[in-house]
Structure 1
Protein backbone atom coordinates (compact mmCIF):
# COMPACT_ATOMS: atom_id res chain seq x y z
CA UNK A 1 0.00 0.00 0.00
CA UNK A 2 1.30 3.48 -0.91
CA UNK A 3 1.13 6.41 1.48
CA UNK A 4 2.15 10.02 0.79
CA UNK A 5 2.66 12.27 3.77
CA UNK A 6 4.64 15.20 5.09
CA UNK A 7 7.84 14.31 6.88
CA UNK A 8 8.17 14.37 10.66
CA UNK A 9 11.31 14.91 12.75
CA UNK A 10 11.42 11.19 13.60
CA UNK A 11 11.87 10.45 9.86
CA UNK A 12 15.26 12.18 9.79
CA UNK A 13 17.48 9.09 9.93
CA UNK A 14 15.61 7.37 7.08
CA UNK A 15 15.59 10.57 5.01
CA UNK A 16 19.32 11.05 5.53
CA UNK A 17 19.99 7.43 4.50
CA UNK A 18 17.95 7.84 1.31
CA UNK A 19 19.67 11.14 0.48
CA UNK A 20 23.11 9.51 0.86
CA UNK A 21 21.99 6.52 -1.20
CA UNK A 22 20.79 8.68 -4.10
CA UNK A 23 23.31 11.52 -4.32
CA UNK A 24 27.12 11.68 -4.47
CA UNK A 25 28.66 12.79 -1.18
CA UNK A 26 29.51 16.25 -2.57
CA UNK A 27 25.86 16.85 -3.55
CA UNK A 28 23.90 15.10 -0.80
CA UNK A 29 22.38 17.26 1.91
CA UNK A 30 24.03 16.81 5.27
CA UNK A 31 22.30 15.51 8.36
CA UNK A 32 22.08 18.94 10.02
CA UNK A 33 20.75 20.63 6.86
CA UNK A 34 18.01 18.01 6.55
CA UNK A 35 17.20 18.35 10.24
CA UNK A 36 16.83 22.13 9.88
CA UNK A 37 14.60 21.71 6.81
CA UNK A 38 12.35 19.32 8.72
CA UNK A 39 12.08 21.79 11.57
CA UNK A 40 11.37 24.83 9.37
CA UNK A 41 9.20 23.51 6.54
CA UNK A 42 8.01 19.93 7.15
CA UNK A 43 4.89 20.60 5.08
CA UNK A 44 7.16 21.02 2.02
CA UNK A 45 8.97 17.73 2.63
CA UNK A 46 6.96 14.87 1.16
CA UNK A 47 7.58 11.17 1.61
CA UNK A 48 6.19 8.23 -0.30
CA UNK A 49 6.15 4.97 1.61
CA UNK A 50 5.29 1.55 0.31
CA UNK A 51 4.17 -0.85 3.02
CA UNK A 52 5.93 1.35 5.60
CA UNK A 53 9.24 1.49 3.71
CA UNK A 54 10.53 4.91 2.59
CA UNK A 55 10.68 4.70 -1.20
CA UNK A 56 10.89 8.29 -2.42
CA UNK A 57 11.04 11.87 -1.17
CA UNK A 58 10.84 15.42 -2.47
CA UNK A 59 11.78 18.49 -0.48
CA UNK A 60 12.15 22.19 -1.05
CA UNK A 61 11.38 25.61 0.29
CA UNK A 62 9.04 28.39 -0.76
CA UNK A 63 10.50 31.73 -1.81
CA UNK A 64 9.72 34.88 -3.74
CA UNK A 65 12.91 34.23 -5.69
CA UNK A 66 12.30 32.07 -8.78
CA UNK A 67 15.70 30.35 -8.69
CA UNK A 68 17.56 28.40 -6.04
CA UNK A 69 20.53 30.17 -4.57
CA UNK A 70 23.43 28.32 -2.96
CA UNK A 71 22.73 29.68 0.53
CA UNK A 72 19.18 28.28 0.44
CA UNK A 73 20.50 24.73 0.68
CA UNK A 74 22.00 25.38 4.09
CA UNK A 75 19.73 28.11 5.47
CA UNK A 76 16.21 26.79 5.83
CA UNK A 77 15.25 30.03 7.58
CA UNK A 78 15.14 31.63 4.12
CA UNK A 79 11.89 29.73 3.60
CA UNK A 80 8.95 32.11 3.08
CA UNK A 81 5.64 30.29 3.46
CA UNK A 82 3.91 33.12 1.58
CA UNK A 83 6.41 33.08 -1.29
CA UNK A 84 5.39 32.73 -4.93
CA UNK A 85 7.65 29.81 -5.89
CA UNK A 86 8.00 26.24 -4.65
CA UNK A 87 11.69 25.47 -5.11
CA UNK A 88 12.86 21.85 -5.13
CA UNK A 89 16.09 20.81 -3.40
CA UNK A 90 16.00 17.11 -4.03
CA UNK A 91 13.98 14.33 -5.54
CA UNK A 92 15.19 10.94 -4.42
CA UNK A 93 13.97 7.41 -5.00
CA UNK A 94 15.64 4.34 -3.59
CA UNK A 95 17.53 2.57 -6.40
CA UNK A 96 15.53 -0.54 -5.54
CA UNK A 97 12.36 1.26 -6.65
CA UNK A 98 13.47 3.49 -9.54
CA UNK A 99 11.63 3.39 -12.83
CA UNK A 100 8.22 2.78 -11.26
CA UNK A 101 6.91 6.35 -11.28
CA UNK A 102 7.15 6.99 -7.53
CA UNK A 103 8.98 10.31 -7.92
CA UNK A 104 6.38 11.43 -10.48
CA UNK A 105 3.62 10.68 -7.99
CA UNK A 106 5.34 12.87 -5.39
CA UNK A 107 6.03 15.69 -7.83
CA UNK A 108 2.32 15.84 -8.64
CA UNK A 109 1.60 16.12 -4.92
Structure 2
Protein backbone atom coordinates (compact mmCIF):
# COMPACT_ATOMS: atom_id res chain seq x y z
CA UNK A 1 0.00 0.00 0.00
CA UNK A 2 1.21 3.51 -0.85
CA UNK A 3 1.07 6.15 1.87
CA UNK A 4 1.58 9.88 1.32
CA UNK A 5 3.05 12.46 3.66
CA UNK A 6 4.73 15.83 3.64
CA UNK A 7 8.48 15.88 3.14
CA UNK A 8 10.99 15.85 6.03
CA UNK A 9 14.55 17.15 5.87
CA UNK A 10 15.91 13.66 6.57
CA UNK A 11 14.36 12.49 3.26
CA UNK A 12 16.92 14.46 1.23
CA UNK A 13 19.32 11.65 0.24
CA UNK A 14 16.52 9.31 -0.91
CA UNK A 15 14.89 12.14 -2.85
CA UNK A 16 18.14 13.06 -4.60
CA UNK A 17 18.74 9.41 -5.55
CA UNK A 18 15.27 9.17 -7.13
CA UNK A 19 15.65 12.58 -8.82
CA UNK A 20 18.93 11.54 -10.41
CA UNK A 21 17.45 8.24 -11.60
CA UNK A 22 14.54 10.04 -13.24
CA UNK A 23 16.25 13.05 -14.84
CA UNK A 24 19.41 13.74 -16.79
CA UNK A 25 22.03 15.64 -14.80
CA UNK A 26 21.34 18.90 -16.68
CA UNK A 27 17.59 18.57 -15.87
CA UNK A 28 17.77 17.28 -12.29
CA UNK A 29 17.19 19.53 -9.32
CA UNK A 30 20.30 20.26 -7.28
CA UNK A 31 20.77 19.38 -3.63
CA UNK A 32 20.46 23.10 -2.85
CA UNK A 33 17.18 23.38 -4.78
CA UNK A 34 15.75 20.40 -2.87
CA UNK A 35 16.91 21.84 0.46
CA UNK A 36 15.13 25.10 -0.38
CA UNK A 37 11.94 23.31 -1.44
CA UNK A 38 11.93 21.17 1.72
CA UNK A 39 12.28 24.30 3.83
CA UNK A 40 10.00 26.66 1.89
CA UNK A 41 7.17 24.48 0.52
CA UNK A 42 6.77 21.35 2.69
CA UNK A 43 2.99 21.70 2.24
CA UNK A 44 3.33 20.98 -1.51
CA UNK A 45 6.29 18.59 -1.37
CA UNK A 46 4.65 15.18 -1.01
CA UNK A 47 6.50 11.91 -0.51
CA UNK A 48 5.10 8.47 -1.38
CA UNK A 49 6.16 5.53 0.77
CA UNK A 50 5.70 1.80 0.43
CA UNK A 51 6.62 -0.44 3.37
CA UNK A 52 8.37 2.50 5.03
CA UNK A 53 10.61 3.25 2.04
CA UNK A 54 10.38 6.36 -0.14
CA UNK A 55 9.27 5.31 -3.62
CA UNK A 56 8.41 8.68 -5.16
CA UNK A 57 7.66 12.34 -4.67
CA UNK A 58 6.01 15.38 -6.18
CA UNK A 59 6.82 19.02 -5.47
CA UNK A 60 6.30 22.55 -6.65
CA UNK A 61 5.51 26.01 -5.36
CA UNK A 62 2.29 27.91 -5.89
CA UNK A 63 2.82 30.53 -8.59
CA UNK A 64 0.67 33.39 -9.88
CA UNK A 65 0.84 32.61 -13.60
CA UNK A 66 -0.37 29.52 -15.50
CA UNK A 67 3.07 28.53 -16.84
CA UNK A 68 6.34 27.54 -15.20
CA UNK A 69 9.28 29.90 -15.70
CA UNK A 70 12.96 28.97 -15.42
CA UNK A 71 13.56 31.21 -12.41
CA UNK A 72 11.52 28.72 -10.33
CA UNK A 73 14.31 26.18 -10.69
CA UNK A 74 16.63 28.61 -8.91
CA UNK A 75 14.47 30.41 -6.35
CA UNK A 76 10.99 29.93 -4.93
CA UNK A 77 8.74 31.66 -2.41
CA UNK A 78 6.55 30.25 0.33
CA UNK A 79 3.09 29.25 -0.79
CA UNK A 80 0.18 31.65 -0.27
CA UNK A 81 -2.72 30.23 1.73
CA UNK A 82 -5.20 30.54 -1.14
CA UNK A 83 -5.22 31.18 -4.88
CA UNK A 84 -2.56 30.90 -7.56
CA UNK A 85 -1.57 27.91 -9.64
CA UNK A 86 -0.03 24.80 -8.17
CA UNK A 87 3.12 24.14 -10.14
CA UNK A 88 4.81 20.78 -10.38
CA UNK A 89 8.56 21.19 -10.72
CA UNK A 90 9.21 17.52 -10.21
CA UNK A 91 7.43 14.21 -9.99
CA UNK A 92 9.56 11.08 -9.91
CA UNK A 93 9.24 7.44 -8.93
CA UNK A 94 12.01 5.07 -7.83
CA UNK A 95 12.94 2.93 -10.83
CA UNK A 96 12.14 -0.22 -8.82
CA UNK A 97 8.60 1.02 -8.13
CA UNK A 98 7.53 2.25 -11.56
CA UNK A 99 4.40 1.09 -13.41
CA UNK A 100 2.42 0.86 -10.14
CA UNK A 101 0.40 4.08 -10.52
CA UNK A 102 2.47 6.01 -7.97
CA UNK A 103 2.89 9.11 -10.17
CA UNK A 104 -0.87 9.18 -10.71
CA UNK A 105 -1.48 8.91 -6.93
CA UNK A 106 0.90 11.83 -6.33
CA UNK A 107 -0.78 13.99 -8.98
CA UNK A 108 -4.21 13.21 -7.48
CA UNK A 109 -2.89 14.43 -4.12
CA UNK A 110 -1.86 17.73 -5.72
CA UNK A 111 -5.35 17.97 -7.21
CA UNK A 112 -6.82 17.60 -3.71
CA UNK A 113 -4.56 20.42 -2.52
CA UNK A 114 -5.76 22.60 -5.42
CA UNK A 115 -9.37 22.13 -4.32
CA UNK A 116 -8.64 22.54 -0.60
CA UNK A 117 -6.65 25.75 -1.12
CA UNK A 118 -8.83 27.31 -3.84
CA UNK A 119 -6.10 27.31 -6.47
CA UNK A 120 -6.81 28.09 -10.14
CA UNK A 121 -5.34 24.81 -11.36
CA UNK A 122 -2.15 22.80 -11.80
CA UNK A 123 0.69 23.57 -14.20
CA UNK A 124 3.76 21.59 -15.19
CA UNK A 125 6.16 21.14 -18.06
CA UNK A 126 7.08 17.80 -19.58
CA UNK A 127 8.94 16.31 -22.51
CA UNK A 128 7.01 15.35 -25.65
CA UNK A 129 6.97 11.64 -24.78
CA UNK A 130 5.08 12.35 -21.53
CA UNK A 131 2.38 14.55 -23.07
CA UNK A 132 0.00 11.57 -23.62
CA UNK A 133 0.44 10.45 -19.98
CA UNK A 134 -0.60 13.87 -18.67
CA UNK A 135 -3.42 14.19 -21.22
CA UNK A 136 -4.86 10.90 -19.88
CA UNK A 137 -4.89 12.54 -16.47
CA UNK A 138 -6.91 15.46 -17.82
CA UNK A 139 -4.17 17.99 -18.51
CA UNK A 140 -4.41 20.16 -21.63
CA UNK A 141 -1.35 20.63 -23.82
CA UNK A 142 -0.75 24.37 -24.16
CA UNK A 143 2.17 23.92 -26.56
CA UNK A 144 5.89 24.43 -26.30
CA UNK A 145 7.08 26.16 -23.14
CA UNK A 146 9.43 29.13 -23.11
CA UNK A 147 11.46 27.19 -20.53
CA UNK A 148 15.05 26.50 -21.51
CA UNK A 149 15.70 24.38 -18.39
CA UNK A 150 18.34 21.75 -19.08
CA UNK A 151 18.43 22.66 -22.77
CA UNK A 152 15.33 20.54 -23.39
CA UNK A 153 12.10 21.25 -25.31
CA UNK A 154 9.31 21.29 -22.71
CA UNK A 155 5.54 21.38 -23.16
CA UNK A 156 3.17 23.40 -20.97
CA UNK A 157 0.52 21.14 -19.44
CA UNK A 158 -2.33 22.73 -17.48
CA UNK A 159 -5.33 21.35 -15.64
CA UNK A 160 -7.82 23.96 -14.45
CA UNK A 161 -9.68 23.54 -11.16
CA UNK A 162 -13.01 23.00 -12.93
CA UNK A 163 -11.47 19.94 -14.63
CA UNK A 164 -10.40 18.37 -11.35
CA UNK A 165 -12.94 15.81 -10.24
Q: Which has the larger radius of gyration?
A: 2
The verdict on a shared fold, with TM-score over 0.5 as the criterion, is yes
> How far, CA to CA, are the matches of 2:97 and 2:11 in structure 1?
19
Q: Secondary structure at the match of 2:88?
A: coil
Q: What are the ranges of 5 or more consecutive residues in structure 1 without an aligned counterpart? A: none
* Deviation of 1:15 (Å): 0.9
Alpha-carbon deviations, 1:57-101, whole Å to 9, x = none? 110110111111000111022x44244100000110111111110
1:53 partnered with 2:31: no
TM superposition score normalised by structure 1: 0.93
TM superposition score normalised by structure 2: 0.62
1:100 partnered with 2:93: no
> How far, CA to CA, are the matches of 2:67 and 2:56 in structure 1?
23
Q: Secondary structure at the match of 1:96?
A: helix
> How far, CA to CA, are the matches of 2:2 and 2:96 in structure 1?
15
Aligned-residue CA RMSD (Å)? 1.2
Alpha-carbon deviations, 1:4-55, whole Å to 9, x = none? 0010111111111111111110000000000001100011001100001111
1:91 partnered with 2:75: no
Q: Which structure is richer in relative contact order (CA contacts within 8 A, separation 6 or more)?
A: 1
Range with greater deviation from structure 2 (22-31 or 12-21): 12-21
CA contact (8 A) 2:59 2:91 kept: yes
Matches within 5 A, 1:10-49: 10-49=10-49
CA contact (8 A) 1:59 1:91 kept: yes
Range with greater deviation from structure 2 (24-33 or 82-91): 82-91
Would you identify which runs of 4 or more consecutive aligned residues in structure 1 move more than 3 Å?
A: none
